[in-house]
């Protein structure tokens, strides 16, 4: 298969993936997603990191602008949201978010070098084909000592450890990109730190938002945000962050 043919098949898979995401958006209320403890605590962690940031912020994968709007309301910030879902951006615009339709997978953001004071990539790297290319592009558009905030699902969460022990695949992992809205990439604390270090980012803080009862993804086939709140703990996530549901990182751009 030629390089051109391979690119074509990847593009076809991405079209399917975007179709699935648009279908989810058309049939679900994002507010229900954000209201669930796993995501509400993750969002709060993001806002804790952005509180002291001022200047220009780029929210990659801003989706419907829920988090972006909250960052704007902190004040002292000029925030732009980008996403590859046109339907989601229309919802973001209703919230007053400046938006750009763009696909970070293409790794060619239309911004000059050293432009942003902070870049947010919340649950983005788990949905791209080449995380290295994305991090390289983020490095380019960030100012020296600019901040990078990342969240991704944690491969070694308590739930995933139990799932793999019982012979199940990690929660929501998509083996075939065209088949659904799951994750294409999963990270551990170690692999996330290595990815950022390889691209001259210095990790300042790395944590998880919540520890979930291990059976949260075993007992029900429903998405996590529609499952009952069986048992969640911020305290345990602080003690055992590598067992938490999310990896949440604050990093700083180095000299390169």
Give the pLDDT of residue 224. 62
- From 240, 172, 233, select the one nearest 207 (Cα to Cα): 240
Domains in the chain (CATH in brackets) are: 3-253 (3.40.50.150)
Indicate the helix (H) or strand (E) that contains 101: strand 98-101
Q: Look at phi and psi of residue 161 and say left if phi exceeds 0, alpha if psi is from -120 to 50, else beta.
A: alpha
**Averaged pLDDT for residues 214-218:** 63
Give pLDDT, residue 19.
82
Q: What residues contact residue 97 under an 8 Å CB cut-off, 6+ apart? A: 59, 62, 65, 68, 69, 72, 79, 81
Give CA separation, 222 vs 1, 171, 172, 219, 227, in Å: 38, 11, 11, 9, 6
Contact 187, 246 (CB under 8 A): no
Q: Is the pLDDT of residue 232 over 60?
A: yes
| pLDDT at position 4 over 70 | no
Task: Look at residue 119 and tell me whether its pLDDT is greater than 60.
Answer: yes
Mapping DSSP to helix (H, G, I), strand (E, B) and coil, where does residue 122 land? Answer: strand
Q: What is the pLDDT of residue 15?
A: 79
pLDDT for 75-117, tens place per residue? 999 999 999 999 999 999 999 999 999 988 876 788 999 999 9
* pLDDT at res. 251: 98
- DSSP, collapsed to helix, strand or coil, labels residue 99 as strand
Name the 3-class secondary structure at 138.
helix
More confident residue, 15 or 235: 235
Residue 47 contacts by C-beta under 8 Å, 6 or more apart in sequence?
A: 67, 70, 71, 74
Quote the pLDDT of residue 12. Answer: 76
List the single range of 111-120, 188-197, 200-209, 229-238 with lowest mean pLDDT: 229-238
For position 175, what pLDDT does the model report? 67
pTM of the model: 0.90
∠ CA 47-120-207, nearest 5°, is 60
Q: What confidence score (pLDDT) does residue 167 get?
A: 85
Burial class (CB in 10 A: 0-12, 13-18, 19+), 95: middle
């Amino acid at each position: 298969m030629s390089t051109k043919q391979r690119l074509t098949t990847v593009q076809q898979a991405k079209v399917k993936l975007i179709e699935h995401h648009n279908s989810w958006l058309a049939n679900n209320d994002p507010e229900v997603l954000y209201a669930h403890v796993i995501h509400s605590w993750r969002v709060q962690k993001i806002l804790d990191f952005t509180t002291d940031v001022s200047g220009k912020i780029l929210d990659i994968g801003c989706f419907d602008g829920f988090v972006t709007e909250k960052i704007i309301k902190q004040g002292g910030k000029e925030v732009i949201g980008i996403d590859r879902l046109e339907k989601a951006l229309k919802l973001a615009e209703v919230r007053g978010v400046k938006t750009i339709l763009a696909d970070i997978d293409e790794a060619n953001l239309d911004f000059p070098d050293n432009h942003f004071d902070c870049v947010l990539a919340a649950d983005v790297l788990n949905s791209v084909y080449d995380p290295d290319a994305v991090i390289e592009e983020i490095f380019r558009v960030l100012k020296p000592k600019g901040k990078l905030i990342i969240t991704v699902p944690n491969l070694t969460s308590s739930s995933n450890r139990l799932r793999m022990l019982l012979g199940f695949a990690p929660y929501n992992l998509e083996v075939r990109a065209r088949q659904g809205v799951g994750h294409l990439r999963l990270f551990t604390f170690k692999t996330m730190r290595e990815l950022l270090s390889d691209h001259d980012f210095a990790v300042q803080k790395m944590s998880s938002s919540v520890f979930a009862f291990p059976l949260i993804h075993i007992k029900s086939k429903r998405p996590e945000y529609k499952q009952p709140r069986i048992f969640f703990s911020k305290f345990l996530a602080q003690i055992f962050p590598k067992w938490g549901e999310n990896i949440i990182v604050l990093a700083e751009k180095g000299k390169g």
